[in-house]
Structure 1
Amino acid sequence: MSTVAPDMDPRTHGDDDFAARTARHLGRRHERFVAVEVRAGAVRRARAGLPDGADVEIGSVSKGLTGMLFADSRDRGEVCDSTVLGDLLPLAGAPAAEVTLGSLATHSSGLPRLPSSSGALRATLDLWRHGRNPYGESLDELLAATRRTPVGRRRPHYSNLGYMLLGHAVAVAAGTTYAGLLRDRLAGPLEMTATTVPSTPADLLPLAVPGRSRRGRPMQPWTGEALGPAGGIRSTADDLGRLMKAVLDGTAPGLSALEPVTRLSGPVRVGAAWLTLERRGVALTWHNGGTGGFRSVVVLDRAAGAGVAVVSATARSVDRAGFALVEECVGTGG
């Protein structure tokens, strides 16, 4: 496995003020993290316990990138909201074949959180007992499981399966793989050179760092071709900064993904993966993520031109810190 030993220097590094604020909001249970703040075009970074350039798992923040790729494909006329999965993926005769891409993008397709699988329970037990990756399936294996998966009533319901299928379907519409789509249409144009979708541990970059469970157990990296669009992207603080800067200055592709179109749960509205929540009269756009050994969050105050990304290499939530840092940055915290 291509990983490096974590830098155990307990000090924070980067912009002194931002590093201190990040460490304060995260607290002592987050000894290994990277963070980046963008405000008025300026980028500040912070890290602790990890090497400079650390390659980390961003978990379901991957869905935000997939949502942007879907919106970009829609802008190009390759797909539309009413395009069904069966037009792009070999699902003929399966209930999922009639699911629309638009419903997948807003988590309202009727698909369950994960596909039907006889090995799901065993994979979950292996994750909690031994730290093993519960996702490693190929696209063919994902499609086989999807053919066996029933589709329920269309209603708001967060679905990892839905975003796996959405990303791969959009890639087929573009005549490429999901990894190729991400590289050619988002990571490449934004110069996110260390943002990848590893299918196996052998695909990890040299600075890929291992994550830990809440109790400190080393966790296997979450790699897998099927997983990629929903939670398999790895990135760095520098690349997350480039992504946020491009979103905030309006130069990123697929920006309509960030515009809320329907309610997901309670006060939370959803566009194409990206969530919007109003706090203290300010609309914040965000997505969080979690894998066996990482937690992540990206929070944007688009009106103020500010954003923060935080990724911890320990499976403890960083959501509160991400929201607090953005609100502190623009002076809306209280």
Structure 2
Amino acid sequence: MTLDPRTAARLDHRLATAQREGRLPSVTAGLVRGGRLVWSGAVGSLDGRAGGEVADDDTQYRMGSITKTFVGVCVLRLRDAGRLDLADRFEDHVPGSALGRVSIEQLLSHAGGTQAETDGPWWERTPGGDWAELAAAPAGQRFRAGRRFHYSNVGYGALGRLLEVHHGVGWADVVRTELLEPLGMTRTTTRPSGRAAQGLAVHPFADVLLPEPEHDAGAMAPAGQLWSTVRDLGRWAAFLGGDTAGLLSADTLAEMCEPHHVVDEPGQPWTGAHGLGWQVWNVEGKRFAGHGGSMPGFLAGLRVALDGGDGVVTLTNTTATTVMRSLGDDLLATLGEEPAPVEPWVASGDPALLELAGTWHWGPSVTTARFTGEHLVLGEPGTGRGSRFARVGDGVDTWVGLDGYYTGEPLRVVRRADGSVAHLDLASFRYTRTPYDPEGDVPGGVDDLGWR
């Protein structure tokens, strides 16, 4: 797909405006649609000075907490391989720390109640120690585990150690071999490599710069160590949009993007939540997932629309600014105004399913069963108890709910002795072709005198 030149010009102008208004030394951004980078732009120089080396989409920036999404995916891969359960306590796998009684799921979703930062010096600006040092430090419980969302960088240091214990190598080696190399993300590293931006702070009251330190965060590195480029993070956005290259199942990716704990800000509506490694947002009914990132000298953002897969990545080398969040939203909105390619309709349905389509009755209420792609749709998903159902196995008689009230619930096709469909059994509710069909084995029976 090639963007309309007018759309690309608007995107370039928005990026340039953000760089100037936000006083960003440099900024790069990219948009993903259909699983590939369809636009990228860069403004500014790597050292923030006139005549300096200019940024581009292959310039590395520190991604900060977007690192956590890579750690989270690797943990879920362990779960899918049967090597752990998300309900396991951390100490079941990594004994000897104050985090022991917190579950793996709670660490992934920041619901363990664990303190946000380390007890030592500001870990983001000072070299970090090893796991033994981190584990020996007391980890304060700010809240009862499972009670609420409380962001914890310490918790992701622990999850990095979990990966090391299971794989026998460093957490970064796990991420590299399991994700980065298979996805072709060759410019994502734990320390700056090749063309990389200098981390900078911009004075709040003058146009002068201060270099920020760069270091190895040690055991805290899984919370925010990785460096990357727009090109590489564009591939990661495509991964989140569903192009996982077989490295993660669609069901597991969807599970990671479910809102496990809302981010509750007093006096504010709930628009954000946290899944398993991914942040989740609900913006006027539209669901997004991704993550933000910040380290001294750098800010980063990744956001993908879960319905459709359009995504945006942003990277800049400044410590603080107010323009980056709105920049990502604006770029994504501009992409949304560009019509996406429309795949032509073709007849691809299974005639064997026609015996299930049409009108059904749950008691006196009327609903319709239809087929959309591979799904049986009963009613209107998002309205009442409407839901989509996916086929279980190779036959046509067993289905499982995908939406709302019936998520995970079974739907069975019950047949008569001659093989014809008698009724549908949906989580014990009976759906019959006519209201309270006495031949539909309606629980409680049907009055012998019938309707009157």
What interval of TM-score do these two structures reach, taking the shorter chain for normalisation? 0.7 to 0.9
1:226 aligned residue (219, 225, 238)? 219
- Whether 2:111 is the aligned partner of 1:103: answer no
Name 1:88's counterpart in structure 2: 93
User: What does the per-residue CA deviation read over 1:70-92, in whole Å, with 9 as the maximum and x for residues that have no partner?
Assistant: 2222112222212222233241x
What CA distance in whole angstroms lies between the structure 1 residues aligned with 2:218 and 2:82? 26
2:122 is the alignment partner of 1:134: no
Q: CA deviation at 1:178?
A: 0.4
C-alpha separation between the residues in 2 aligned to 1:232 and 1:288? 13
- Distance in 1 between the 2:82 and 2:159 partners? 16
**Which residue does the alignment assign to 1:212?**
200
Counterparts of 2:68 and 2:149, CA distance in 1: 16
Bigger strand fraction: 2
Give the structure with the higher percent helix. Answer: 1
Q: Structure 2, unaligned stretches of length 5 or more?
A: 1-7, 47-54, 204-208, 265-269, 339-452
CA distance in 1, matches of 2:289, 2:132: 34
Are the aligned partners of 2:106 and 2:112 in contact in 1 as well (CA < 8 Å)? yes
Q: Deviations over 1:134-175 (max 9, x none)?
A: 342223322222xx2233422310101011111221332233
Letter in 2 for 1:206: G
Distance 1:23 1:75, change over 3 A: farther
Deviation, structure 1 residue 246: 2.5
* TM-score, normalised via structure 2 length: 0.61
* SS of residue in 2 equivalent to 1:328: helix
Match of 1:175 in 2: 168
Among candidates 254, 264, 287, match of residue 291 of structure 2: 287
Partner of 2:67: 62
Cα distance in 2 for partners of 1:194, 1:23 equals: 25
Change (3 A) 1:55 1:114: same
Is 1:263 the counterpart of 2:262? The answer is yes
Partner of 1:18: 11
Paired residue for 2:309, among 281, 299, 305?
305
Pair 1:41 & 2:41 matched: no
TM-superposed CA distance for 1:222, in Å, is 4.3
Give yes or no for contact 1:103–1:109 (8 Å, CA) kept in 2.
Answer: yes
Structure having the higher Rg: 2
Give 1:271 shift.
Answer: 0.9
Cα distance in 2 for partners of 1:36, 1:243 equals 12
Judge conservation of contact 1:79–1:173 (CA < 8 Å) in 2.
no
Q: Which amino acid aligns with 2:42?
A: R
Gaps of 5+ in 1: 1-14, 128-132, 199-203
CA contact (8 A) 1:296 1:319 kept: no
Q: Is the 8 A contact 1:25 1:324 kept in 2?
A: no
**Corresponding residue for residue 119 of structure 2:** 116
- Aligned-partner Cα distance in 1 for 2:153–2:107: 10
- Pairwise CA distance, 1:16: 5.0
Tell me how large the CA RMSD over aligned residues is. Answer: 2.2
Moved more, 205-214 or 160-169: 205-214
C-alpha contact 1:275 1:286 (8 A) present in aligned 2? yes
The AA in structure 2 aligned to 1:258 is: C
The share of aligned pairs that are identical, in percent, is 27
Return the alpha-carbon distance in structure 1 between the equivalents of residues 65 and 202 of structure 2. Answer: 18
Report how many residues are paired.
Answer: 298
The amino acid of 1:223's aligned partner reads: D
1:19–1:223 Cα change, 3 Å: farther
